[in-house]
């Protein structure tokens, strides 16, 4: 969502990293980091929960300036909307999760929605508009936060739908108003997760539906492509993390997916791919990672902005308990633009080694913290999530802090209910159900 014109400045005292022991932030090589194996149901359940948790964690530092807001690692009250609404209690998720739940509900056709389910753009718009007008799928029963492009698209939908305009006419009208580059917000990427989760078994269909899910409010070509590449990443993780037999799939493979994607958006291509193709004779994992480290813009950025030398380019240690440098906004933007949000979320994923670390990194980027956090959390939840009783990868997802986030989440039962319905929908589709296209 695009930034709200409300900024609160607070005094910030950076920590002198020379006084800290930074040895515990060393991440294993990407080629040695594999996703936590779990069932399809577990991955869906916990990636949806992850989105809500980190969205809520990032609510308070939203709209703030990086390095001027206190370190965030626990759920706190959100004062950003108290002038228009009220102080939001700790654990309150925002529009990112509300729209994610609406999209998931549209795919499932939940009984209370009285809709067709599966894939229907008009049904999606109907539920988004119900959220805007009635607080449907809101943590506090009211829409207190909505992006400008989303608001405009829903207004056009409401007017044209009431006038009896058909599906194609409605979508064409929205595209006419919001198809230009100036409307490249992150509002469709932030809610995209359910599409990847529902259709991961058919990557081609997942990518196509991802683009269509963006067109409802963010028809700009870059927004569509960002959703397409993200859905493909979710599908790839799900395919490898839920396999019943051992699969050698690592973070380096996921980076290669982003790098090799056939981008048409020059902005996404410049941020997420290499200028040249890795030589065919470079096959050893360590050698491949060394090549990407020298050639991929994201890994080059991580190298530049992490470690003691990164202070020279504006990175800072923001709390003694957090063993990473946070990059400056000049080096890594967290503004509400789709390509900057995608890059920021991937930075948090590839620069850290656990779900908790990446989440804390994301929300402390400030600015559009809740959305960057939600985008990160959906993908990271797919990667790291496992049942709480599984101790084989203890700490990669479940930690005492993550359990506190879960326990403090407002309306957690609603998030879990939608996730369970999405699990049932995915299973039917994977076992032979054919999704309808309306």
User: Residues comprising the binding site for Mg(2+)?
Assistant: 94-96, 368, 370-371
| CA neighbor of 372 nearest in space, from 138, 189, 152 | 189
Continuous segment of H or E residues that includes residue 174: helix 167-178
Distance between first and last Cα of the chain: 27
* CA distance readout (Å), 108 to 197, 278, 415: 12, 41, 14
**Tokens found for residue 130:** 């119900």
Judge whether 107 and 197 are in contact, CB under 8 Å. no
3-state helix, strand, coil in the chain (%, to 5): 55, 5, 40
Residues making up the binding site = 94-96, 368, 370-371
* CA distance readout (Å), 46 to 52, 241, 380, 382: 10, 13, 10, 8
Residues 6+ apart with CB under 8 A from 384: 35, 36, 354, 355, 393, 396, 397
The Cβ of residue 15 has, within 10 Å, a number of other Cβ atoms equal to 15
């Amino acid at each position: 969502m695009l930034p709200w014109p409300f900024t609160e400045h607070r005094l910030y005292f950076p920590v002198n990293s020379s006084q800290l022991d930074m040895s515990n932030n060393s991440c294993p090589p990407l080629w040695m980091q594999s996703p936590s194996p779990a069932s399809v149901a577990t991955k869906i359940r916990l990636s949806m929960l992850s989105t809500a948790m980190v969205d809520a964690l990032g609510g308070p530092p939203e709209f703030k300036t990086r390095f001027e807001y206190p370190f965030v690692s626990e759920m706190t009250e959100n004062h950003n909307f108290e002038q228009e609404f009220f102080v939001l209690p700790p654990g309150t998720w925002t529009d990112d999760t509300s729209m994610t739940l609406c999209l998931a509900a549209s795919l499932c056709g939940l009984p209370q929605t009285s809709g067709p389910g599966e894939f229907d753009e008009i049904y999606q718009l109907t539920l988004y508009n119900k959220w805007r007008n009635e607080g449907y799928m809101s943590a506090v029963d009211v829409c207190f936060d909505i992006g400008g492009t989303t608001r405009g698209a829903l207004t056009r939908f409401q007017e044209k739908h009431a006038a009896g305009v058909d599906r194609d006419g409605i979508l064409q009208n929205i595209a006419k108003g919001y198809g230009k580059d100036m409307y490249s917000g992150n509002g469709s990427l932030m809610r995209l997760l359910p599409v990847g989760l529902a259709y991961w078994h058919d990557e081609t269909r997942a990518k196509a539906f991802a683009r269509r899910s963006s067109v409802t409010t963010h028809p700009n070509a870059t927004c569509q492509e960002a959703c397409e590449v993200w859905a493909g990443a979710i599908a790839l993780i799900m395919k490898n993390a839920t396999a019943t037999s051992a699969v050698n799939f690592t973070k380096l493979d996921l980076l290669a997916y982003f790098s090799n994607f056939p981008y048409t958006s020059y902005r996404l291509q410049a941020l997420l791919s290499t200028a040249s193709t890795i030589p065919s004779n470079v096959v050893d994992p360590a050698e491949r990672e060394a090549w990407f480290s020298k050639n991929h813009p994201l890994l080059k950025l991580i190298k530049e902005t992490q470690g003691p030398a990164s202070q020279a380019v504006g990175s800072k240690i923001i709390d003694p308990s957090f063993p990473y440098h946070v990059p400056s906004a000049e080096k890594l933007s967290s503004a509400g633009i789709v390509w900057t949000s995608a890059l920021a979320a991937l930075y948090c994923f590839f620069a850290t080694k656990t779900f908790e670390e990446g989440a804390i990194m994301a929300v402390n980027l400030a600015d559009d913290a809740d959305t960057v956090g939600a985008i990160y959390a959906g993908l990271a939840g797919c990667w790291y999530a496992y049942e709480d009783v599984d101790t084989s990868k203890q700490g990669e997802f479940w930690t005492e802090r993550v359990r506190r986030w879960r326990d403090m989440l407002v309306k957690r039962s609603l998030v879990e209910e939608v996730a369970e319905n999405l699990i049932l929908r995915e299973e039917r589709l994977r076992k032979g159900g054919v999704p309808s296209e309306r």
